[in-house]
Each structure stands twice: as structure tokens, then as C-alpha cells.
Structure 1
Amino acid sequence: MSLSHAQHLELLNHSVSELKDDIQVSFEFFPPGTEKAEASLWEALDRLVPLAPRFVSVTYGHSEEGRERTHKVIKQIGERTGLTAAPHLTCIDTPEAELRQIARDYWQNGIRHIVALRGDKQPGRQYTNYYASDLVRILREEGDFDISVAAYPEVHPEAKSAQADLLALRKKVEAGANRAITQFFFDVESYLRFRDRCVSAGIDVEIVPGILPVSNFETLKRFADLTNVAVPSWLAQRFAGLENDPTTRSLVGASIAIDQVRVLRKEGVKEFHFYTLNRAEQSYAICHTLGVRPQLAKAC
């Protein structure tokens, strides 16, 4: 027997009401390099601030200029929005003394949350022997920071094996990390299997899924190639024929992310980290659909 429109609506509302309870969200941005990009960043932030995210993070550039932009934006976010702003900090090409100075500067400026990463190797640069676990240790010695680290459900591109990658995550947690945020993924089962393996390995922090709402499939493929993320064939099919249709691409990308989050929530996940690429439309729509709205932000 087919359901009436009213019955469909009741089921949808019930589903959404189940999902909104206790959900927490956070958003990632990158530091702008131009005045136009800076305007886009603040426009996105202004749109997402009313959702009361747990924190917003800002990525870390490889150049000294890029790093300074991160420092500047982080301080501005705190001053202009009152949100908890979490800078990314890498250690692969930064001496320990400089890392400690950066940590002290953040602490003195009231910044308590840091996303601690090893960082990617760049051609022609000198590198330290530090790993993210070393950076977590340094941060713990400098202050009582709230520390997030990275996790890779589909294995870090440089890891010798999935088990070695898991042990690296455990070292970061043992050094004092408070949570792990995953690389983006599209196979929900890969996240769920990874979460189970973390539990088996004694990793007892929250494994927050990183969600990338796709708006440009070609850009996604470049990201995926760099990060060892599998792009399933069904995803390519969803975006086929939309090369010159950005509006529909955005709608399709938001729909895919909504499906991901709904499944994950039913599997007990209560916290989600959105890679915004400095755009608010998709992330805001996903949060709205799941019940994370301005008037409900305190309850979420």
C-alpha cells in the first residue's frame, strides 16, 4: 500500500528529529590569498556562525607568508565572531624552538585549540624528523591545548601499511591528542571499519568523520589522487554531464554528503567536520537538513 503525502512528511520529520539530537559540527577553511578570497571567506563565516559550530579550523600554508595568513585569520575569527578558532600547525619543516614560540603566541592570544599535523613534503625544502605525535607532545608541554589530529580511513599515502598507519594514530593519541579528524571519504563502510579497528587498537578518542561536499568533480579527483582517497564509480556517474552546470553540481554534492551523514548518524556518530573550501552554501544546507539550525544550535 502506498503512503500518503502526509505520511511521507511525517516519516521525514521523524527521521530529521532523530538526527538532530546531540549533533555537533565544525568547519574547515583556508587562509585567503587575495582581497576577493578574503571577502568570500568572511561571507562564508558569517553564514555559518549562527550554527554555533564546536570550532572552525584554518589550514596552514607551506610558505612563511602562508603561515602568517593563518595566524592572522585565526586571531580575526576569534575577535570578530567569538567562535573557537583552531589553527592547523605542521612540524615537518619547522624547528622545535619555533614551534614552541608559535604555541606560546597562540596561548597568549587566547587560542586553545590546535589541529596538529606532520605536514606534506615540498620540493627543495629542508625537513625535520618530527612527526605529528612529536608536535602533540610539544604542544602538551607548552599548554593545556585542545588538540585535534588527522586520521586516514583509507590509509595515509606514505604509510607502509594500514597497521603502521593505525599505530601512528595511536602514538598521537598517547601523546595527548583529544580527537582525530578523518580525511574525507565517500565509502561510509571504510570509515566504519576504520572506527572499529581504532577501538580494537585501544584508540579511545572520538574519530570525527571529515565530510567534503563536492561542487567540482575534477577538483575532487585531484584532491583524491593526492590523499589516497577512493573515488567510487557511482560518484563519477552522479556528476557526469554536469561540467558546465555548477548549480546542479552543488545540489548533487550536497545530496551525497547528506546521505553520508544520515548513515553515519544512525551508526552512532554525533560529530562531523566539514571541509568547506571557503564556501558556505552546501555545508549550511546539509546542517539545516539534519536539524542543525540557528535556533537549535545550543541543543546541538
Structure 2
Amino acid sequence: MNNKIDYSFEFFPPKTAEGMANLREVRKQLAPFKPEFFSVTFGAGGSTRDRTMESVLEIQAEGYGAAPHISCISSSKAEISELLQAYQAKGIKRLVTLRGDIPSGEVSSGDFKYANELVQFIRAETGDWFHLEVAAYPEFHPEAGSAQKDLDNFKRKMDAGADSAITQYFYNVDAYFRFVEAAQMVGITAPIIPGIMPIYNYTQLARFSSVCGAEIPRWLRMRLEAYGDDLPSLRAFGVDVVTEICAKLAQTGVNKMHFYTLNQAGTIRQIIEQLPA
């Protein structure tokens, strides 16, 4: 087990009691890695608001660091203020602060248009109470007009008061390094934590990647496609690929990694346990 890296793990809020029970077991399996925090996502337009809070409070009650995602699309300032007060009252100290996805068919975007506006609002409402994480895109946000515009947007979020950033997942390590270097050149010194996506299923991964703008390199795509329905072999190969990415990051001094778990633990355990101590 690699004890030199601070890990964090992202969950989505389960819809059922069975899902909640499964997530408790997943947390138990990931607990030996002493995570800095577990984060819980927030559905488009706040569609999972109550389930997000329920999951976060359960994680906190178990003694772990807990970080709810909070997104501003389709939300009013009054709604966000109410949510912030609720989290403060429960002693939550960290937020993953996002613009969020626009729900299908949505017309009104609420009082906020961009994540930097949400960061600024949270700072105005709560001061330094929360540690604020924001999103970063090593391969550029899919809506960005150019790499420079994407970097400018990222800097606006950091300048608005974010403490650190978590990247979208990537399979090209150089993209992460180039992004960090570009951020440093415009004066961003806060930690930029790499987001890590294990490979469970090629069809699912391709769908996620087409939406979020993460590139699956051609060599990797063709290898994954070649496995067809042989999921055990695909996942074993995926463990090797992602372990190598994490090892390269660690070798260059990266000491924090954030895993997108999809509410599963086994593959992630394999990856972390294979990393050099």
C-alpha cells in the first residue's frame, strides 16, 4: 500500500436502501487507504440534493471526511444560501464547487451562470468556513472555445477563492503535466489534484468521455474494443493501464489523487495496492 499519497474517493448518492448498504461496504473496503475525504455528487439541477446530503451526513457520522458536491445551474441564491447554512450547521467543512450540468429541457439557468460566480458567492456568504474544490480540465472543457479560454476560466475560479482543484479524468499523463505547467505560468499555485477513472467497461467509458471531453487515446481505445464482452480481461488490462498512470504521477511528486469510484471498490484497491510503496 502506498502511504505517501493522500487519496480521496467520489461516490454518487444511491437511490435505494440496497444501494446505501452497498456504499457502506465500499467505504469499508476503501477505508484502509485513510482517505482525506469521500465526496458525493450532486445531480443535474440539484436533482439529488436530499440524497447527496443524506449520504454526506452518513459518511461524516462514520468518522470520515465528507465533501458534498454543490452545483449552481438552475439554483437561486436563496436556495444555495439555505444549502450552505445546512452544511455549516452539520459541521461540513469542504465542498466540491461546480457549475453543474444543465438538466434536459431546462430553460432557466437560475441566478448563476458559471462556477466562479458560485465560488465568489460562497466566500461572500461563509468566509473561510469551507475548503472549496473546483473542477479543472487537462484536455479542456467540452464547451471551451480554446485552450486559452479554458485556462482563463479556470483562473477566474481560483481567483474567486477556490482552495484547490480536481481534474477531469485523463489517460494521457502529459496532458495533466502541461495543464499544471500552464496554470502555474498564469500564477495559479493551489494544488491541482489528478482525477483518476478506473476502467470497468468500454461502452460506459466511451459514453462518459464523449460527454465530458476526456480523450481515450487511439491505442487504448483499440485495445479496449478488442476485448469485446470479455470484461474480466478488459478490467485486468485496465488496472495495469491506470496503475501505470498513477505511478507516473507519483514519480513526479504528485501526492494527492482523487478516484471516480462509480460506487465500486475492488478495481481501485487493486490499483492502489500495485503502486510502489
- Asked if these proteins are the same fold (TM beyond 0.5), I'd say yes
Out of 77, 91, 95, the position equivalent to 1:96 is 77
List gaps (5 residues or longer) in structure 1.
1-15, 293-300
**What displacement does 1:87 show?**
0.5
Paired with 2:188 and 2:205, the residues of 1 have a C-alpha distance of: 30
* RMSD of equivalent CA atoms: 1.6
3-state DSSP of counterpart to 2:139: coil
Out of 34-43 and 213-222, give the one that drifted further.
34-43
Query: Residue 64 of structure 1: CA displacement?
Result: 5.2
Amino acid of the structure 2 residue aligned with 1:290: L
1:167 equivalent to 2:152? Answer yes
Pick the aligned partner of 2:119 from 133, 136, 139: 136
User: Partner of 1:226 in structure 2?
Assistant: 211
1:180 aligns with 2:192: no
TM-score after normalising by structure 2: 0.94
Amino acid at match of 1:43: E
Residue 141 of structure 1: how far off its partner (Å) = 2.5
**Equivalent-residue separation in structure 2 for 1:139 and 1:82 (angstroms):** 25
Match of 1:238 among 189, 204, 223: 223
Question: Which residue matches 2:96?
Answer: 115
Shift of 1:284: 1.3
Q: Unaligned 5+ residue runs, structure 2?
A: none
Letter in 1 for 2:124: E
Q: Which amino acid aligns with 1:155?
A: F
The CA distance in 2 between the partners of 1:36 and 1:101, in whole Å, is 30
Q: Are 1:104 and 1:142, in contact at CA under 8 Å, matched by a contact in 2?
A: no
| 97-106 or 232-241, which deviates more | 232-241
CA contact (8 A) 2:45 2:100 kept: no
Question: Residues 149, 63 of structure 1: CA spacing in aligned structure 2 closer, same or farther, 3 A cutoff?
Answer: closer
Question: How many positions carry a matched residue from both structures?
Answer: 273
The partner residue of 2:189 within 192, 199, 204 is 204
TM-score relative to the length of structure 1:
0.87
* 1:288 counterpart residue number: 273
Give the number of the structure whose alpha-carbon radius of gyration is greater.
1
> Which stretch has the larger CA shift, 218-227 or 138-147?
138-147
The share of aligned pairs that are identical, in percent, is 39
Match of 2:4 in 1: 22
Moved over 6 A (4+): none
State the distance in 2 between where 1:287 and 1:107 align.
Answer: 33
Secondary structure at the aligned position of 1:114 is classed as strand
Change (3 A) 1:118 1:63: closer
Task: Give 1:35 shift.
Answer: 3.0
TM superposition shift of 1:290:
2.2
Please report how far the alpha carbon of residue 53 of structure 1 lies from its aligned counterpart in structure 2 after TM superposition. Answer: 0.5
Distance in 2 between residues matched to 1:162 and 1:64, nearest whole Å: 29
Partner of 1:155: 140
Change in CA separation of 1:167 and 1:142 when aligned onto 2, cut-off 3 Å = same
